[in-house]
Structure 1
Amino acid sequence: MSGINNNKEQEPLPDIPTPVLNDPRPAPDRDQVVSAFKTLEPARNFSTMSKSPCAKESFLDGAAVGLGVGLLKAMRSAPARSAANWGFGAFVLMTVGTWEYCHFKIRQKRQLMAIGQMPVVSTIDIDASKRREAIAARQNNV
């Protein structure tokens, strides 16, 4: 009985706008998606992906798990197409999961460094201190 106003003394129900078919204006979400895709530069974005942190580990873990799941599914006498689908799905899930977990750990480290609970250690400083110790040891031995 929604939409029927039996009480004449109260204010009338608001009019519900009817949807307009073939509205020439695009939906706002579509504009955002299209503008996001226009900013992609596949040649540049995918060529620099290997330089980003966690990329190598994520893809190797995903490939290993995807191959394993696909082979296990194939050995259980599943059709080849089904086994390939399971393997690819496992690859995608493992790659994304490993990527996100690695970046989560990086964010945690950065937060700890920002609040001062984790010292900022540079590998250059460690190498330099090891070189100084080695030089001092050589000078003491001579």
Structure 2
Amino acid sequence: MSGNNNNNGKEPLPEIPLPILNDPRPAPDKDQVVSAFKTLEPARDLSTMAKSPCAKESFVDGAALGLGVGLLKAMRSGAGRSAANWGFGAFLLTTIGTWEYCHYKIRQKRQIMASGQMPIVSTIDMDSAKKREAIAARQKDV
């Protein structure tokens, strides 16, 4: 036996090409990257984020769950840095997840409205008697 060959007489394994070395795409131009970063305006972007639908709900849910996970991790392990990492991770995942789910519901509502299947009268915040009256009035109009 010679060298570090542990194949016990079998043929050698084929070499696997590294995709990074054989990537046919050209490297991004530095000017494009710099111009992309110049278009960012954090003050404007953060000020308009509050006007975005679902933003407040997502941040509140993320902050509550992140704080809870961080505190539980700190009480169990006592490691402050690890607990902070777990809490921040839970905050990020929850915020992104609830924001995406909220926008998914908005897209569904828009599709239903576009198809004409959604009732015109909103009965979400009405008591049951008012709901029945609104539904009966809507059915008479049809």
Bigger Rg, which one: 1
RMSD: 3.2
The C-alpha deviation readout for 1:41-76, integer Å capped at 9, x for no partner, is: 111110111111101100000000000000000010
Report the counterpart of residue 90 of structure 1 in structure 2: 90
The C-alpha deviation readout for 1:3-58, integer Å capped at 9, x for no partner, is: xxxxxxxxxxxxxxx97xxxxxx614877655543322111110111111101100
Report the counterpart of residue 53 of structure 1 in structure 2: 53
Q: Verify: 1:73 aligned to 2:73, yes or no.
A: yes
**Quick one: structure 1 residues 111 and 65, their matched pair in 2 at CA, closer, same or farther if it must change by over 3 Å?**
same
Structure 1 counterpart SS, 2:50: helix
Listed as ranges, the gaps of 5+ residues in structure 2 are 1-11, 15-20, 123-142
Structure 2 counterpart SS, 1:76: helix
Rounded Cα–Cα distance in structure 1 between residues aligned with 2:106 and 2:64: 23
Higher helix share: 1
The size of the alignment, in residue pairs, is 103
**Aligned runs of 1:108-127 on 2, under 5 Å?**
108-120=108-120
Rounded Cα–Cα distance in structure 1 between residues aligned with 2:50 and 2:67: 21
Task: State TM-score, norm by structure 1.
Answer: 0.61
Report the counterpart of residue 44 of structure 2 in structure 1: 44
Listed as ranges, the gaps of 5+ residues in structure 1 are 3-17, 20-25, 123-142
CA deviation after TM superposition for structure 1 residue 95, in Å: 0.3
Task: State TM-score, norm by structure 2.
Answer: 0.61
CA deviation after TM superposition for structure 1 residue 118, in Å: 1.4
Report the counterpart of residue 126 of structure 1 in structure 2: none
Rounded Cα–Cα distance in structure 1 between residues aligned with 2:45 and 2:109: 26
**Quick one: structure 1 residues 35 and 101, their matched pair in 2 at CA, closer, same or farther if it must change by over 3 Å?**
farther
Report the counterpart of residue 5 of structure 2 in structure 1: none
Rounded Cα–Cα distance in structure 1 between residues aligned with 2:31 and 2:115: 39
CA deviation after TM superposition for structure 1 residue 77, in Å: 2.4
1:118 aligned partner, one-letter code: M
Rounded Cα–Cα distance in structure 2 between residues aligned with 1:31 and 1:107: 37
Rounded Cα–Cα distance in structure 1 between residues aligned with 2:30 and 2:116: 43
